[in-house]
Structure 1
Amino acid sequence: MGKEAHGTIPLVRLSRAVDGLPEQPLGDAGLVTWSVRGEMGKSGLLLGRPLLHVHVQANPVVVCQRCNAPFAYPVDSEVLLQLVKSEADLDDDTSYGDQSDEDDEDEEGKGFVSNLPEKVVGSHHFDLLAQIEDELILSVPYVPKHDVCPGAQANAGEASPEEPAVKRPSPFAVLEQLKHKD
């Protein structure tokens, strides 16, 4: 452990990640930058356990679900993974020691321990690019939206809510006139 690797890969090569998305840009705008660092856990429940720090950066083009316009969604995700020897170890909660559900609270008693890493099966045939693609998929929201849609900004600039663009007569004005004719 203690080794590092990093690189880039075109988004279009990660077919599961871009499935259902609009056409992705080519060149630098369409690259996924990744880095991975391995180490052994140094303290607590992770002492002596093999860990991977995975960092993924990309800007996949997604479609805003409010305005239907494509936009680049920035992804900058870091995750800590624990490597286990077999699939049976994935669900094995005893690998963190003898803890019952009542003991899963942190020192301050504010909630469940949530800083334990996700477990993945590690082997000599570990597919690092599949793990990077998984992290990218998990980082893109299921329903992507602009913070503020570009069309909403343009519409807001055209007419302020206090002053309507066109003064229309009230539809009840005609009724008011009929009422006073008697």
Structure 2
Amino acid sequence: MPVWIDLFRFCEEGRSQDGECLVRDLPRLGGETAELSAPVRWQAAGRIETLAGVYDEQGAPRRRRALYLAAQTQLTRDCDRCGQPMQVPVDLRSRLEVFDTEDEADAAAMEAADDEFDPIVGARKFDLLAQVEEEILLELPAGVTHEVCPQPVASSSTAPQRVAGQATADAAPQEAPVAGDGRTVRPFAQLDALLKAGAAQTGRKSKK
């Protein structure tokens, strides 16, 4: 169930959009969980941001198209230690910079001048939901373990390992306002902190 948008226009007009689907609607994500009926709530906001201290070849301040994404869901995965199912909450926050071509995105990734934003290639027909799914998959830990397994585990089992970036269990989804005309709306409550962090990042002086 794709959600098609003109990503360039979405960013240039400062639009926002949200939605909800089920895990089963996202085939690749569905392969990571035993429970396909869990809801996935997502939000997106586009922005044009001016980078302080960064200039193009004509000497004008460089501007970027920024896409902010947030998503919340809960997956059922097997514990790597005891093999029993466990709930893995997902609370995604992503910042993406939108480029016109693969070459531009690859060059930005190689330069790694701004590790707060990941480069992607935009399109006039862009599947927003597919990008949400991609970002969730990138955030998933390679393995999960219970804090305390529900049944005894053989002593030869490996000790649990925490994975950096794993979502916390108390991250609850919040409701977001919806615009009646589907066009520009206020930033979603879920994205406020992310948008503020992005604004702070654009205000920093470049090291170059």
Q: Same fold (TM over 0.5)?
A: yes
* SS of residue matched to 1:91: helix
* TM-score (norm. length: structure 1): 0.66
Name which of 31, 43, 48 aligns with 1:35: 43
* SS of residue matched to 2:120: strand
2:109 and 2:119 in contact (8 A); partners too: no
1:67 and 1:151 in contact (8 A); partners too: yes
CA distance in 2, matches of 1:36, 1:132: 9
Q: Are residues 1:60 and 2:75 paired?
A: yes
Q: Which amino acid aligns with 2:134?
A: D
Q: Are the structure 2 counterparts of residues 87 and 5 from structure 1 closer, same or farther at C-alpha, using a change threshold of 3 Å? A: same
2:150 match: 150
Q: Are the structure 2 counterparts of residues 130 and 55 from structure 1 closer, same or farther at C-alpha, using a change threshold of 3 Å? A: same
* TM-score (norm. length: structure 2): 0.58
1:114 match: 115
Q: Are the structure 2 counterparts of residues 94 and 130 from structure 1 closer, same or farther at C-alpha, using a change threshold of 3 Å? A: closer
Listed one character per residue, the Cα deviations across residues 115-139 of structure 1 (whole Å, up to 9, x for unaligned) are: 2x11111111111111111111122
CA distance in 2, matches of 1:73, 1:47: 40
The alpha-carbon deviation at position 152 of structure 1 amounts to 5.2
* SS of residue matched to 1:73: strand
CA distance in 2, matches of 1:34, 1:145: 26
Q: Are the structure 2 counterparts of residues 140 and 124 from structure 1 closer, same or farther at C-alpha, using a change threshold of 3 Å? A: same
Q: Are the structure 2 counterparts of residues 126 and 63 from structure 1 closer, same or farther at C-alpha, using a change threshold of 3 Å? A: same
Indicate the RMSD between aligned Cα atoms, in angstroms: 2.6
- Count of residue pairs brought into register by the alignment: 134
1:73 and 1:140 in contact (8 A); partners too: no
Q: Are the structure 2 counterparts of residues 151 and 42 from structure 1 closer, same or farther at C-alpha, using a change threshold of 3 Å? A: farther
1:84 and 1:121 in contact (8 A); partners too: yes
Gap runs ≥5 in structure 1: 105-112, 154-182
1:54-93, aligned counterparts within 5 Å?
54-93=69-108
Higher strand share: 2
2:26 match: 14
* SS of residue matched to 2:50: coil
Listed one character per residue, the Cα deviations across residues 116-173 of structure 1 (whole Å, up to 9, x for unaligned) are: x1111111111111111111112221112122222259xxxxxxxxxxxxxxxxxxxx
* SS of residue matched to 2:72: strand
Q: Are the structure 2 counterparts of residues 147 and 139 from structure 1 closer, same or farther at C-alpha, using a change threshold of 3 Å? A: farther
1:40 and 1:47 in contact (8 A); partners too: no
Identity of aligned residues (%): 27
Gap runs ≥5 in structure 2: 1-12, 55-60, 154-208
The alpha-carbon deviation at position 13 of structure 1 amounts to 1.1
Higher helix share: 1
Q: Which has the larger radius of gyration?
A: 1
Q: Are the structure 2 counterparts of residues 52 and 94 from structure 1 closer, same or farther at C-alpha, using a change threshold of 3 Å? A: closer
CA distance in 1, matches of 2:99, 2:70: 20
Higher relative contact order (CA 8 A, sep 6+): 2
The alpha-carbon deviation at position 9 of structure 1 amounts to 0.7
